[in-house]
Amino acid sequence: MEKLGHSELFFSDYRDYWYNRDFLDLMAKRWGLNRYSSMLDVGCGQCHWSRLLVPYLKAGAAVTGYDSDIKWAAGNEKIKQQFESASAQVSFVKGDAQDLPFENDSFDVVTCQTVLIHVENPLKALSEMKRVVKKNGIVICAEPNNLAGAVIKDSASKNDSLEEKLENLKYALLWEQGKINLKEGDNSFGDLLTGEMSKAGFTNIQSYISDKAIPLYPPYTNGEQIATIKSVELWEKEKATMIDIGRKYFEILGPEALKFYKDSNTKNVENKVLKLIKKHEYYSGGATIMYLVSGTK
């Protein structure tokens, strides 16, 4: 079986529903994207983010997809055709977000989505983005707070005891702290993004939160609901991989944290969400926190 590429567990069609189209129309106007003709997409993955933004650029825009994973840095014909259908061209380069191999002042727009949450030194990555963007160009970062989901109610958790709710939050907090301690990033870096962009020397810093929610409720028939459920099914299918990923985050926090991790995974063998979905009894408001922060050079 083909090995999943970096973050491939999170690259499902679900990402195509992260934003409302009229919200992007408004953001493109606020950012003045129609003035620009070149873009660097840092940590591009399958270019979900830059494919959404490129229609707002000048016709014939040139996009560079940049990723540390060899699978994504190779690009593919499907992605190239998607850009061509938007009257744009795309090329791909492999490398580290904290050490961009481009000349100073190379791009009109530099952007990333859910990338800074995975790098050891996001300030260095932001400084590199500032270096390679042109004077008066714009850097746009979309980064989340991933802790919020641990305290949002749904029909699977609405009757949880206080102890269960606290354990759920503790699990999320320990996972995030272990990742930070291993210098693999901060899953809720979006909360810190405006301050770090200020440290990097950006001006005209603007911060917004995406207005998108994907509510789930029976019979789960619209496109965004189907894509969301498929993501949940993929994570369940790859549960062993997810457990292996998480183990190191708890190990670094010590034996007590690791025991809590093992006990939690043993206790929560059954996926309550999928069980309720199959019975058409699951519902949720579908809220997330995604910051969209921009700054100029």
pLDDT in tens, 31-58: 999 999 999 999 999 999 999 999 999 9
Helix (H) or strand (E) holding 134: strand 133-145
Q: What is the pLDDT of residue 111?
A: 98
pLDDT per residue, tens digit, the chain (297 aa), is 334 444 565 666 888 899 999 999 999 999 999 999 999 999 999 999 999 999 999 999 999 999 999 888 898 999 999 999 999 999 999 999 999 999 999 999 999 999 999 999 999 999 999 999 999 999 999 999 999 999 999 999 999 999 999 999 999 999 999 999 999 999 999 999 999 999 999 999 999 999 999 999 999 999 999 999 998 898 888 888 888 889 999 999 999 999 999 999 988 767 899 999 999 999 999 999 999 999 999
pLDDT in tens, 163-220: 999 999 999 999 999 999 999 999 999 999 999 999 999 999 999 999 999 999 999 9
Which domains does the chain carry?
8-296 (3.40.50.150)
How many helices and strands, by DSSP H and E, does the chain display?
11, 7
Task: Give the integer Cα–Cα distance in Å for 258 and 242.
Answer: 15
Task: Give the integer Cα–Cα distance in Å for 162 and 160.
Answer: 7
**DSSP sequence for 177-245:** HHHHHTTS--TTGGGGHHHHHHHTT-EEEEEEE---B--B-TT--SHHHHHHHHHHHHHHHTHHHHHHH
For the chain, the first-to-last Cα distance in angstroms comes to: 45
